[in-house]
Amino acid sequence: MKQSAYLLDTHVHTSEVSSCGKVEAAQMVRYYKEAGYNGIIITDHYYKEYFESMLEGSWEEKTDIYLSGYRAALDEGKRIGVDVFPGMEIRFHDSPDDYLIFGIDEEYLLNNPKLYNHTLKSYRDSIKGQDILIFQAHPFRPACLPAEPGLLDGVEVFNGNPRHNSGNDMAYAFAEEYGLLMISGSDSHRVEDVGRGGIILQRPVKSIHDLVSMLKNREPMELIIAENGIDFLYTGL
């Protein structure tokens, strides 16, 4: 691997926000620092039941709670030298499928309330002309179905979560068949999940919008894959 390689995990959760998360945001950032990563994207779960569990409060207050994991990670990242970018793993009201959204920021989440009320198609329509990308997460995991390819920008072709059978081979074949962008992500919830996925870029990422540009322009990158006892397998794209 070249000295200038930039390691980024695209799928990371925090215990502050994701109920399935077992690691607090600041500690998660420290784990990624130890694993040699340059950056992570916080993709906490965004779905109707989560926000409705907050019985009181304005949308601004609820958004502050949703962003608490990202903000804690961002603060720690600045302190120790790990880039932390905003994202989300959204589930729309009409389906159990999950989608990783890249290109959003705090202002976007505040100004666009209750995004979970969309369908995938209506959300796709709502972001027309904006630099926001939709990647389907683990589309071949049991109970999930691959979306209509025309509604997607890309696919998470490797999901590193060791507690799920994510059908990664099928996800890769699906993305390849339809010419969709490909990413890998650890889907980190626990310490043992850290560093099981991500992407390797040839230059640093300046912002989440810079990453979107890199992905859209298909700048050279590699996928990080860790399974079956293999620590890192670099697959050129």
User: How many Å apart are CA 134 and CA 147, to the nearest integer?
Assistant: 11
Q: Which domain holds residue 56?
A: 6-236
| 136 Cβ contact list (under 8 Å, min separation 6) | 97, 98, 99, 100, 146, 147, 152, 154, 155, 156
Output the pTM of the full model: 0.93
CATH number at residue 29: 3.20.20.140
Percentage above 90 pLDDT, the chain: 85
pLDDT digits 0-9 by tens, 204-226: 999 999 999 999 999 999 999 88
How many domains in the chain? 1
| 36 Cβ contact list (under 8 Å, min separation 6) | 7, 195
Give the pLDDT band (50/70/90) at residue 162.
Answer: confident
User: How many Å apart are CA 10 and CA 41, to the nearest integer?
Assistant: 5
| 184 Cβ contact list (under 8 Å, min separation 6) | 10, 156, 157, 158, 159, 160, 197, 198, 199, 223, 224, 225
Q: Quick check: is 1 in a domain?
A: no
Radius of gyration of the chain (CA): 16
Is the pLDDT reported for residue 3 higher than 90? no
- Determine the pLDDT at residue 20: 82
Q: Quick check: is 170 in a domain?
A: yes
Residue 146 per-residue DSSP state: P
